[in-house]
Amino acid sequence: MSEPETRWSAVVLGGGDPGDPFAAAHGVNVKPLIPVGGIPMAAHVLHALRGSGRIRCVAYVGPTTPEIDALIDLRVTDVGTLLGNLEAGLEALAATGSAPGERVLVATADIPMLTGDHVRDVLDSAPPEAALVYPVVRREVCEAAYPGVKRTYARLKDGSFTGGNLFLVDPALVGQFLPRLRDVLAARKAPLRLAGLIGPGVLLRLLTGRLTVHALEETVSGLLGVTARALVTPHAAVGTDVDKDADLILAAAHLGSPAS
């Protein structure tokens, strides 16, 4: 059986607020550097990317340690915002001379339970026609994998989902949708402004759980001007980041090591 033809690079978002009290409580500047099993949680993510056998080049945005440096190809300075860091990582990858048609996996550095098998399955399952693919996980999958885990879920007609901490982009089309995505993120906590962007009918159906995954895909595609698709993944680790001590204890227990 031949390997998939799509080539992949990765941007790992490892920055953070230097004043984050969670990071400070564990003696580091930013959350991805908190140790789990003796190494930064970001290193677990990087091991998963490398272990997938699918990634050509890894650009890491944020402060590093020797363990992280050994697993990356490009170190990129944190510019202070999520989308700014994404742009900086993509620009660093572009400078390496990526192959035509190469796509980019973007991952946050705070999902230490991710494995190479998870990454490989997500990449191999991604619809090739989409400029933006966002993996999501069903609530029942998360709760079966990690009983008692606390996540934020969106209730749709198809079920309740939590967003993944990976997404897949076509770098050739990022310039088309990034300004519009910036507007959406800026409006996400302002319901009237958000309604103006996506339409009040869509927002009402979303808030009342009557919107389907397909309808949401079409709404986001129209809003961003590119084909956007959700990818329902069976891997709970994709949607389980570490934001607090309870999450850190869960990750350490799952990885068979004491929490640091």
pLDDT, position 2: 45
The highest-level CATH class for domain 8-254 is alpha beta
pLDDT at 175: 85
Per-residue pLDDT of the chain (260 residues; tens, 9 = 90+): 444 467 899 999 999 887 899 999 999 999 999 999 899 999 999 999 999 999 999 999 999 999 999 999 999 999 988 889 999 999 999 998 877 778 999 999 999 999 999 999 999 999 988 999 999 999 999 999 999 888 989 999 999 999 999 999 999 888 888 888 888 777 665 666 767 767 778 778 878 889 899 999 999 899 889 999 999 999 999 999 999 999 999 999 998 865 55
Residue the block writes with tokens 């990317």: 49
Q: Which amino acid is at 18?
A: P
The number of beta carbons lying within 10 Å of the beta carbon of residue 24 is 13
The reported pLDDT for the residue numbered 1 is 40
The pLDDT value recorded for residue 191 is 63
pTM of the entire predicted model: 0.91
- Contacts of 67-72 with C-beta under 8 Å, sequence gap 24+, read 67/39, 67/40, 67/43, 68/14, 68/40, 68/42, 68/43, 71/43, 71/46, 71/47, 72/12, 72/46
Question: What local confidence, expressed as pLDDT, does residue 214 receive?
Answer: 94
Give the closest residue to 118 by CA, choosing from 214, 47, 211. Answer: 47
pLDDT score of 159: 95
